[in-house]
Chains A and B, each alone.
Chain A
Amino acid sequence: MILKNSHPTAGATRSPQALLPAGGFRAPWISFGPYFVGCALAAGLYFTLPVAIGPYYSRIVIDVGIAMILAVSLNIVSGMTGQFSIGHAGFMALGGYTAGMITYYGSLLWWGTAARHGGFLGVGDWFFVAACMVGGLVAAAAGYVVGLPSLRLRGDYLAIVTLGFGEILRVVLQQTNKVMENAATVRASTLRDWWPPPVGGAVGFDGIPKYTNLFWVGAFLTITVVAAYRIKQSSIGRAMLAVREDEIAAQAMGVDIAKTKVRAFVLAALFAGMAGGLLAHEPGLIISPKDAGFQRSFEYLIMTVLGGRGSISGVMLAAAILTALPEFLRDFEQYRLIVYALLLIVMMLLRPQGLFGIHEIWQIWRRRGKAEA
């Protein structure tokens, strides 16, 4: 093989995208379009779905959406970057409790009651969204701290650290104070009453205003999925994949491994924390310390393993199946964990790379088309 006689900077291979003007009206549309479309779809669902399929099934769709956010975010750290994390529910619970504290005590102080305030897209809704964002940021800070050991630990050892984070959080949450019932108590409280935080202890944090609906789940899911997909298609995502594949080669090619790993942990925790905010405000559900525990983390881990490491669409499909299936098989509830375990064993034997491996669903179709041609 001899070097071909073409100049390395010959422009014949430029993709048409590079030829577009840098600015213009297209730029903001490309940047924000997918987010906008996702939110519009979510609004459509919010107005039509409860009418079409009733409140029970709408509730399942909400559960599926939240599970998708958590699975896609876990996929950033364990699927794309290859860092084994089984403390993901811990980040979720941390974000959920933080967001819940903000909306519950904020509502009590400002509006005198912890009930919902304002209608669709009303002031209460935006307060709730801001609380979810803060929950995400607090979880991201925790993700930074938990991500640091990943620079020195690998595989099983890292898994134990992340597991420890979730379990410690669960036990700490069990030791918290009782929820303050009304505004008068909150006003009369001293600083001592806020440590440990009054979030209900082992029985869970009851009374959080129930703002979560199909629209907000859809909006947060859109942010998570579009951001994750764009990261996967970028230099940042490529660096994550390279760290998963071969750390030595990755750093020899100029990848800052420490930065890449910590960034993956922080991003995953950020989205998980926001999903926790949605969960805490979900109607008919009380967030409790066991939500931070090992079992929940394990469920999300199964979704990423089942979907395929790094495949965003595959993980979303797995999250949908694993969340919806138990609802339709209510009568067999007690066998759920057995089915999970069997499913995992079968998957490991038949398709160890997950449903879609490292590919997205549409890439599978394209490959199949190519093979037939």
Chain B
Amino acid sequence: MALDSSIAELLRAENLCLNFGGLKAVQNFTFGLPLGALYGLIGPNGAGKTTVFNLLTGVYRADSGGIRLAGANLVGRKPHEITAAGIARTFQNIRLFPDLSVLDNVCLAGQLRGSQRLSGTVLRTAHQRNEEAAIRARCLDLLALFDLRDRAEALATSLSYGHQRYLEIVRALATEPKVLLLDEPAAGLNSREKRALAQSIRDIRDRFGLAILLIDHDMNLVMEICERIAVLDYGVTIAQGTPAEVQNDPKVIAAYLGCSEPPK
């Protein structure tokens, strides 16, 4: 891999492998995400999509291979260090903090780049108060972007399902990421909500200048908004390319629909 192309790509995964005992969950996953890109990751159930996210965010440690964010190595770093380095994610099965308010859910992520110390907290120094107020203000503004501001004091679990999905995205954005990983953001939304989500995802990318990698089972959504798509099946990358290329790839059709004889 030439040096210049790895700098052009914000996030680079190189030959990632992960085995769970005898199960090869991810094999030789190679992927590049340029700045400002909106790419998709699809595949049948159990193909290893979420496992790839867990590798990228440090929940699992890859058996081999490399992950680089803007040139910095991320393999072996702890999840919170990777978030601080600039990769934020949402979860497939919503993982909000149920007993915290909507605002506190976002503030928790928004405090990542703060510099509060225990001594300053116990003495409530001017620095601590100003920083806490700034975090609050910034997070309220983020919530306002998604029409969630008037629910800021409500418990996270009291939101509707669709709003909870948005809150997950707001929370991830509050960490000021360079790369946003969305794990099935459209799951459980109706078709009108999905259209709105598609628009929102594009808007988020443009407004925050992020690169976004998206997992979803809704092919209309993925094909509509993603510029490039990687297809996983049993941990193997069976295709990569533009939506049109991927849609017509016989291996992809075989993986999704099955076929009478294995493709060459």
Most chain B CB within 10 A, of A4, A8, A32, A234, is at A234
With a cutoff of 8 Å between Cβ atoms, the chain B residues found around residue A235 in the complex are 107, 111, 114, 116, 121, 131-132, 135
Taken together as a complex, chains A and B put the C-alpha atoms of A252 and B124 apart, in Å, by 27
Of A22, A251, A267, which is within 8 A of B130 by CB? A22
Nearest chain B CB to A245 CB, angstrom units? 4
Taken together as a complex, chains A and B put the C-alpha atoms of A267 and B72 apart, in Å, by 35
Taken together as a complex, chains A and B put the C-alpha atoms of A230 and B108 apart, in Å, by 16
Of A27, A234, A251, A254, which is within 8 A of B121 by CB? A234
B136 at the interface (CB under 8 A from A): yes
Task: Please state if A253 and B133 are interface contacts (CB–CB under 8 Å).
Answer: no
Taken together as a complex, chains A and B put the C-alpha atoms of A252 and B104 apart, in Å, by 15
Of A9, A248, A256, which is within 8 A of B141 by CB? A9
Task: Please state if A4 and B144 are interface contacts (CB–CB under 8 Å).
Answer: yes
A3-B146, A15-B133, A31-B123 given; A245·B99 CB < 8 A: yes
Stretch in contact with the other chain, from A39-47, A163-171, A211-219, A236-244: A236-244
B142 at the interface (CB under 8 A from A): yes
Residue ID in chain B nearest A30 by CB atoms: B124
Stretch in contact with the other chain, from B13-21, B34-42, B195-203, B213-221: B195-203
Task: Please state if A227 and B122 are interface contacts (CB–CB under 8 Å).
Answer: yes
Q: How large is the interface on B (under 10, 10 to 19, 20 to 34, 35 or more residues)?
A: 35 or more
B97 at the interface (CB under 8 A from A): yes
Task: Please state if A22 and B127 are interface contacts (CB–CB under 8 Å).
Answer: yes
Task: Please state if A18 and B137 are interface contacts (CB–CB under 8 Å).
Answer: yes
With a cutoff of 8 Å between Cβ atoms, the chain A residues found around residue B131 in the complex are 235
B254 at the interface (CB under 8 A from A): no
A130 at the interface (CB under 8 A from B): no
Task: Please state if B141 and A18 are interface contacts (CB–CB under 8 Å).
Answer: no
Taken together as a complex, chains A and B put the C-alpha atoms of A27 and B127 apart, in Å, by 10
Q: How large is the interface on A (under 10, 10 to 19, 20 to 34, 35 or more residues)?
A: 35 or more
Taken together as a complex, chains A and B put the C-alpha atoms of A248 and B118 apart, in Å, by 24
Task: Please state if B137 and A248 are interface contacts (CB–CB under 8 Å).
Answer: no
Residue ID in chain B nearest A367 by CB atoms: B153
Task: Please state if B125 and A31 are interface contacts (CB–CB under 8 Å).
Answer: yes
Task: Please state if B123 and A3 are interface contacts (CB–CB under 8 Å).
Answer: no
Task: Please state if B200 and A3 are interface contacts (CB–CB under 8 Å).
Answer: yes
A119 at the interface (CB under 8 A from B): no
Taken together as a complex, chains A and B put the C-alpha atoms of A256 and B114 apart, in Å, by 13
Q: Which of A300-314 contact B (CB under 8 A)?
A: none
A6-B145, A9-B141, A236-B116 given; A255·B126 CB < 8 A: no
Nearest chain A CB to B177 CB, angstrom units? 10
Task: Please state if B112 and A17 are interface contacts (CB–CB under 8 Å).
Answer: no
B264 at the interface (CB under 8 A from A): no
Taken together as a complex, chains A and B put the C-alpha atoms of A230 and B125 apart, in Å, by 11
B48 at the interface (CB under 8 A from A): no
Stretch in contact with the other chain, from B3-11, B23-31, B79-87, B231-239: B79-87
Nearest chain A CB to B237 CB, angstrom units? 24
A1-B166, A31-B125, A231-B121 given; A15·B203 CB < 8 A: no
Nearest chain B CB to A206 CB, angstrom units? 35
Interface string of B83-120 (1 = CB under 8 A from A): 11000110100011111100010011101101010100
With a cutoff of 8 Å between Cβ atoms, the chain B residues found around residue A253 in the complex are 83, 88, 108-109, 112, 171-172, 174-175
Nearest chain A CB to B144 CB, angstrom units? 6
Of B78, B130, B171, which is within 8 A of A18 by CB? B130
Task: Please state if A254 and B144 are interface contacts (CB–CB under 8 Å).
Answer: no
Task: Please state if B97 and A242 are interface contacts (CB–CB under 8 Å).
Answer: yes
Nearest chain A CB to B135 CB, angstrom units? 7
With a cutoff of 8 Å between Cβ atoms, the chain B residues found around residue A257 in the complex are 80
Residue ID in chain B nearest A239 by CB atoms: B108
With a cutoff of 8 Å between Cβ atoms, the chain B residues found around residue A1 in the complex are 146-147, 162, 166, 193, 196-197, 200
A192 at the interface (CB under 8 A from B): no
With a cutoff of 8 Å between Cβ atoms, the chain A residues found around residue B79 in the complex are 251-252
Task: Please state if A250 and B108 are interface contacts (CB–CB under 8 Å).
Answer: yes
Task: Please state if A236 and B129 are interface contacts (CB–CB under 8 Å).
Answer: no
A10 at the interface (CB under 8 A from B): yes
Task: Please state if B203 and A254 are interface contacts (CB–CB under 8 Å).
Answer: no
Taken together as a complex, chains A and B put the C-alpha atoms of A364 and B225 apart, in Å, by 46
A13 at the interface (CB under 8 A from B): yes
Task: Please state if B111 and A238 are interface contacts (CB–CB under 8 Å).
Answer: yes
Task: Please state if A6 and B144 are interface contacts (CB–CB under 8 Å).
Answer: yes
A341 at the interface (CB under 8 A from B): no
A2 at the interface (CB under 8 A from B): yes
A3-B146, A255-B80, A255-B108 given; A18·B127 CB < 8 A: no
A369 at the interface (CB under 8 A from B): no
B59 at the interface (CB under 8 A from A): yes
Task: Please state if B122 and A254 are interface contacts (CB–CB under 8 Å).
Answer: no
A-B contact pairs, 19 of them (CB 8 A): A1-B197, A2-B196, A2-B200, A13-B140, A15-B133, A17-B133, A22-B130, A27-B125, A30-B126, A230-B124, A231-B118, A234-B128, A235-B132, A246-B95, A248-B95, A252-B89, A253-B83, A254-B84, A255-B108
Measuring CB to CB, which residues of chain A are less than 8 angstroms from any residue of chain B?
Answer: 1-4, 6-11, 13-15, 17-18, 20, 22-23, 27, 30-32, 226-227, 230-231, 233-239, 241-242, 245-246, 248-257, 263, 267, 358
Measuring CB to CB, which residues of chain B are less than 8 angstroms from any residue of chain A?
Answer: 57, 59, 78-80, 83-84, 88-89, 91, 95-100, 104, 107-109, 111-112, 114, 116, 118, 121-138, 140-142, 144-147, 162, 166, 171-172, 174-175, 193, 196-197, 199-200, 203-204, 207
Enumerate the 10 nearest inter-chain pairs by beta-carbon distance, A residue then B residue, closest first. A254-B112, A245-B97, A18-B133, A249-B95, A235-B111, A254-B83, A253-B109, A251-B79, A3-B203, A234-B121
